[in-house]
Every structure is written in structure tokens, then in C-alpha cells.
Amino acid sequence: MDVKEILLRTMVGGVMVSAFALLGDLLKPKTFAGLFGAAPSVALATIVLTVMKQGKEYVSVEARSMLLGSLAFFLYASVVSRLLMRRKLSLLPVTSLAIGLWLVCALGLWYAVQRVAG
């Protein structure tokens, strides 16, 4: 991946993420606006650029893994919500440290699927 492609991905990703975040800012109630926190913005930007370069089969494999990533996202957001609403813990440490939970969960699910699939 050359510098030009990295810059292109950065620009497209930035625009997509900002667009969905802006939409979330405009909507009420807050739980509904929160849906846009899990919008497929990074995926849309990546898929368009990757299909053009690597082809559809490659992206289909990525999407299968994305399914596991989104399950890890569900766990991440549920834990963060519970810790902030029930325990009133500080926001930045909770949201940042829980990224580790996402990583462990996503990689763990991927490993488990690999083992089951043989």
C-alpha cells in the first residue's frame, strides 16, 4: 500500500465517519442517536476502495470477519454503557481500556471459528 492509497483511505474514511457522526448529532432521543455510533462508516469506505484493488472475494472474506468484530463491538458497547450508567466511572479510561476487551473478544472469536472450522 503506497502513501497515495493511505491518504485516499484516510480522506474517504474521515468523510464517511464524520457524515454518520453528524447524522447522530442531529437525532433525538440519545439512544436512537447512539445507533449511529455503530454505523458501518469505516466498512463502507474500506469496501469501496478494496473491491477496486483486490476484488470481491477478498472483501467477502473481510466481511465474514467483520461479523465477528461486530459481536465484539456489541460486548464492548454493552460493558461501557453499564459501567458509565451504573458505576459512574470516568469516561475516557472506561472507553479506552474497553478497546482491549474488544480486541481480546474479536481475536478470541476469530480463533474459535478457525478451530471449529478446522
17-56 residues in contact with another protein (CB under 8 A) are 17-18, 21-22, 24-51, 54, 56
Of 34, 36, 2, 43, which Cα lies nearest the Cα of 19? 36
Phi, psi (degrees; rounded to nearest 5) at 40: -80, 45
> Cis (ω within 30 of 0) for the bond into 29?
yes
DSSP 3-state of 87: coil
Smallest distance from another protein to CB 53, Å: 10
Residue 115 C-beta: closest distance to another protein, Å: 13
Q: Does 111 bind another protein (CB under 8 A)?
A: no
DSSP state of 69: H
Query: Which of 63/118 has CB closer to another protein?
Result: 63
Q: For residues 29 and 118, which CB has a smaller minimum distance to another protein in the complex?
A: 29
Residue numbers 76-105 binding another protein by CB under 8 A: 76-78, 80-85, 88-92, 95-96, 99, 102
Minimum CB separation of residue 69 from another protein in Å reads 3
List binders of another protein among 56-75 (CB under 8 A).
56-74
CB 64 within 8 A of CB 23: no
Tell me, what amino acid is at 4? K
